[in-house]
Structure 1
Amino acid sequence: MMKKILFFLLLCSFVGQGQNSICIGKRIEIASDDDITRSVLVYLPPSYHDSSLKPTKYPVVYLLDAEANFNYFATLMEKLSQGIPNVPEMIIVGIQTSKRETDFTTNNDAFWKLITTSVIPSIKNEYRCNNFSIVVGHSLGGLAVAYALNNYTNYFNVYMAHDPSLWWEDNSGLKLFEDNKQKNFKGRHLYLSYSGEKVRHNGRSRHHEAIEGLQSLLKEGGCKDLQTYFKEYPNENHGTVQIMANIDFFRMLFVEMFIDRNEIEANPMVIKERYKALSEKLGYEFKPTEKYLKNTAKWLQKNGKEAEAKAVLSINK
C-alpha cells in the first residue's frame, strides 16, 4: 500500500527586510501503515522543473542526519553537477532523526523497515526517480549504513559510510560483516572514509581498530563481490571528514562523467564511450542528459565546430 505524504514546508533562507527567499528544498512528513511518521527533507535539482527540457528521471541520495547535513550536502551536490559535471543531477532525500542511538545502532531494524517500506515507496511515487540510489551516513549514521548494507542489501546501489562507528556496542558494526562474510554482495559498492593519524589515539583507538578489522576481513576475501573503496584523511577529524570525503567519493563514483571539452572537440563520441564505461562499472545504464548535450553542442558551435556539435546532439538518439 502506498504511504501518505501528509504535508510539506518549503525550506528557505530569508534575505534582508524584503524577506526574499532562497529555497533549498522542502520538508515532508511521510506516514506508514501503522501511522508512524518520519520527517524528511527533499531537494530537487534545477532541471527538474525546467520546461525547456524533456522530463527525465533522477538518481536518489538518501542522506542520514539531515537536520545537520542537508543544507551543505544539497548545495555541494548542486555545485558538482553544474557546468562540466562531476556528478549527475540527483534528488536528495534527507532523513531526520531525534533518536540517533535508537535509529542508527544495531537494533535499528524498525528504522530501516520504515525507510524501505514507507519513505522510499513514497518518494518514488511522488517524484521522478530512476532505480539508482545511494545512502550516506556519518559516525553512528555510518554504522546505520553498514547495517543497511548487510541486512537491506538490495535497496541501494552505493553505501557511503564516513568515519562509521563500527566499534559501537562491542564492535557490533564489524560483527555485521563477520556474520555476512560468506554473503554475495554483487552489484553493491561500499565507500568508507575515516579520519587520520593525528586524532586516532585521542581516545579513539577502538574506532579505528574496528575499521581496520573490516579492511582485513575484506582483504582476506570476505563479503564476496562487494566493491569497496577506503580512504583515510590524515588532516581531518571525526567532525570534518565527511565534508571532504563526500566531495572525493562522489567525484570518484562518477569519474567517467567529467570529460574535458578538448577531448570532445577531438572526438565527440568520447561522451558515449565514457558513459558506457560508467554504466558497466555501476551496473546501471547512465546516459548524458539533454541539458549537458545541449550545453556542450553550444560550446562547440561557438568555436566553429558545427559537425562535432551535431554529433554530440545525436548521441542519445
Structure 2
Amino acid sequence: MKTLMTSIVLCFFLIGNAQDQKTVAFGVEDSIFSKVLNEYRKVWIYNPEKASGIFQSKKVYPVLYLLDGPTHFHSVVGMIKQLSTANGNTVLPEMIIVGIHNTNRFRDLTPTQMVERSGYTTDDMRKNTGGGDLFLDFIEKELKPYIESNYRTAPYSMLVGHSLGGMMAIYTMFQRPQMFQSYIAIDSSIWWNNQEILKEIQNRPNLNYLKGTSLYLGYANTLVEGYDISTVNEDTSEETLHIRSILSLDTFLKNNAVEGFKYKSQFYENDTHGSVPLITEYDGLRFLFKFHRIDIDEKDFENLEVDMVSQIEAHYQNVSTHMGYQVKADENLINRLGYGMLNGNLYERAEQFFTYNTKIHPDSFNVYDSLGDYYVATNNKEKAAESYQKALELQEYPLTREKLEQLKQQ
C-alpha cells in the first residue's frame, strides 16, 4: 500500500521564556492513501514504545481507534498514559492510539443516506450522507493492516466514537462484530434517519453473534424541562428523540443479554452532549479493563513463604484470558519491584524478581542490566560482569558499558 509519511510531531509547548521552550512529543501525524475512498486520510498515532524511552523486547500493544481523532486524541492519550504507567499504575494496558481525521464527517460517520430532514441536520448535511460502510472498509482493509504492519500491535483492538461516531461504533459492533474486540459509544446519534439503525437492531432474533465483544454506552443529559430519565419516553417530540433512542437501545440490550457479551451503560446527569466524552472514555476504559490492575500486598514482600512470582503469573494468565492472547508480566513493573526490594535490602526477594524478568523477557538487554545491578549490590562481581556482558550482547547501551568497565577496573 502506498503511503505518505509526513512525520509531523504533535506537541504542546512548555510555558516559559521563548529561549527555554522545548517540544513535548505526543505522537506523530501520518497520512495513508485510501483506494477505497480515493483520498489521503490523515491519522495521529501515539506509540507507547517510543514514549517509554527504553525498548521493551517484543512487547505488543492493543490498539485504540478513535473517531473524530483531533477532538479527543490528547485527552485519551493523557488518560491512558496516566492509568497505564504513571505512578506505577497498571489500571489499563499501554495502548497504541490511532486518531482518525475527518474529510467528510457526515459521509463517513453515517451508515445510511438520510431521506428525511431532521432538526438535527441541515439540507447541506444530508446531501452526502450514507458512506459509513465504505469508511469501515477503509479502516478494516487499509488502515488496520497498515498499523499492524508498522507497529508492534497485539491481536486486540477497540473503537471509540462520540455522537455520529458513537452511532458508527454501535453500527460496527452489530454489522461487523469481529472487527474490534470492544467499543465505547458516547452519546450516540442512534436517532439517525428516523431510528433506522436502531429498529434494524431491535428486529434481530438474537444477539449470539456478539459473544466475545464488549460495549460501554455512555449518554448525556439531553432531557427537556418537565421530563426525567424515567418519564422522557412519554414524550414524542423531536427534542427528546436523541435520548429516547439511546434509552431504547439500552433497554433492548439489557433485555436480550447474551453470555459472553460484556455490556454496561451509564447516564451522566451532570454532563451535556459536548462535555460527556471525557468522563465516558474514562469510565468506559475502567469498565472494559477492570481485570487489568494487579494488586500486590506489600506485607507479602518480607514473607518469603509467599510465592509472589506465582501470584503475578496467575494474574497475567487471567489478563491473557480476557485479552485473547498471551500477555506477559510487564517488564518495567517487575523491574520496579526488583529495585524496590533491592533498596529495602530484601535481597532474596529482589533476586526472585530480577531472575523472573530474565526468564519471561530473555531478549531484553534491560533485564540483564538490572540483574547485574543486583549482583553488584550483593558483591558478586563475577555474576555482575556476566549479566552486563549478556545485556551488551543483546544491545549496546552506554550506561551498561560503563558499569562493566568499572567492574573490570576494580
Task: Compute the TM-score of the two structures, normalised by the length of structure 1.
Answer: 0.89
Query: Percent of counterpart pairs with the same letter?
Result: 29
Mapping 1:1-317, distance limit 5 Å: 2-15=1-14, 16-18=17-19, 19-33=21-35, 35-45=38-48, 50-51=53-54, 53-82=56-85, 83-106=88-111, 107=130, 108-183=132-207, 184-196=209-221, 199-201=222-224, 204-221=239-256, 225-262=260-297, 265=301, 267=306, 268=308, 269-313=310-354, 314=356, 317=360
**CA distance in 1: counterparts of 2:259 and 2:105, whole angstroms:** 30
User: What code does the residue aligned with 2:165 have?
Assistant: G
**CA distance in 2: counterparts of 1:179 and 1:6, whole angstroms:** 44
What per-residue deviation string (whole Å, max 9, x for no partner) do you get for residues 204-229 of structure 1? 52222212212222233266743211
Structure 1: segments with no counterpart, 5+ residues: none
**CA distance in 2: counterparts of 1:13 and 1:44, whole angstroms:** 17
Q: State the 1:94 CA deviation.
A: 0.3
Q: State the 1:179 CA deviation.
A: 4.5
User: What code does the residue aligned with 1:105 have?
Assistant: T
CA gap of 1:281–1:228, structure 2 versus 1, over 3 A, is same
Please provide the CA RMSD for this pair.
2.5
Please state which structure has a larger fraction of its residues in helix.
2
Please state which structure has a larger fraction of its residues in strand.
1
CA gap of 1:175–1:24, structure 2 versus 1, over 3 A, is same
Larger Rg computed on CA atoms: 2
Task: Compute the TM-score of the two structures, normalised by the length of structure 2.
Answer: 0.70
- Number of equivalent positions: 314
CA gap of 1:201–1:97, structure 2 versus 1, over 3 A, is same
**CA distance in 2: counterparts of 1:5 and 1:180, whole angstroms:** 42
**CA distance in 1: counterparts of 2:330 and 2:59, whole angstroms:** 9
Structure 2: segments with no counterpart, 5+ residues: 112-129, 226-237, 361-410
What per-residue deviation string (whole Å, max 9, x for no partner) do you get for residues 138-168 of structure 1? 1111001011112222121111101111112
Answer whether contact 2:63 2:95 (CA < 8 A) is retained. yes
CA gap of 1:57–1:31, structure 2 versus 1, over 3 A, is same
SS in 1 for 2:210: coil
Structure number with higher relative contact order (C-alpha < 8 Å, ≥ 6 residues apart): 1
User: What code does the residue aligned with 1:182 have?
Assistant: N
**CA distance in 2: counterparts of 1:130 and 1:176, whole angstroms:** 33
